[in-house]
Homo-oligomer: A and B are copies of this chain.
Amino acid sequence: MGSGKVYSYLDHLECGRCNARFAADVVQGLCTVCGSPLLARYDLDRVGANCSPSEFVGRSPDLWRYHELLPVRSPDSKVSFGEGMTPLIPMPGTGSVMGLGRLFMKDEGLLPGGTFKARGAAVGVSRAKELGIKRIAMPTNGNAGAAWAAYAARAGIEALIVMPTDAPSVTRAECALTGAQLFLVDGLISDAGKMVAEAVSARGYSDASTLKEPYRLEGKKTMGLEIFEQLGWRVPDVILYPTGGGVGLIGIYKALLECQQLGWVGDKLPRLVSVQASGCAPIVRAWEDRASESTMWEDASTVAFGITVPKALGDFLILDAIYKTDGCAIAVDDDDLLDAQGVVARNDGAFICPEGAACFAAARSLRASGWLSESDEVLIINTGTGIKYPDTVSVSPPVLQVGDTIPVG
Contacts and interface: CB of A to CB of B under 8 A. Distances in A.
Interface in A120-170: 149-155, 160, 162, 165, 169-170
Interface stretch (A18-26, A81-89, A209-217, A360-368): A81-89
A348 B61 contact: no
Nearest to A79: B349
A111 interface: yes
B198 A405 contact: yes
A247 to B, nearest CB: 21
Interface in A162-188: 162, 165, 169-170, 172-179, 181-187
Given A82-B88, A154-B348, A404 B195 contact: yes
- How many copies of this kind of chain does the complex include? 2
A44 interface: no
Interface stretch (A2-10, A312-320, A392-400): A392-400
A345 B186 contact: no
Contacts of A388: 387
Contacts of A390: 169-170, 173
A406 B161 CA distance: 10
Interface in A358-409: 385-388, 390, 392-393, 395, 397-406, 408-409
A406 B203 CA distance: 10
Interface residues of A, number: 84
Contacts of A153: 345-349
A150 to B, nearest CB: 4
B408 A181 contact: yes
Contacts of A327: none
B386 A387 contact: no
Contacts of A195: 400, 403-406
A61 B65 CA distance: 13
A356 interface: no
Interface in A314-343: 341-342
B184 A399 contact: yes
B107 A183 contact: no
A176 B397 contact: yes
Given A87-B82, A195-B404, A113 B398 contact: no
A57 interface: yes
A242 to B, nearest CB: 19
Given A174-B387, A177-B393, A401 B186 contact: yes
A203 B61 contact: no
Given A387-B114, A402-B185, A345 B397 contact: no
Interface of A: 57-58, 61-62, 80-83, 85-89, 93, 107, 109-114, 149-155, 160, 162, 165, 169-170, 172-179, 181-187, 191, 194-196, 198-199, 203, 341-342, 345-351, 385-388, 390, 392-393, 395, 397-406, 408-409
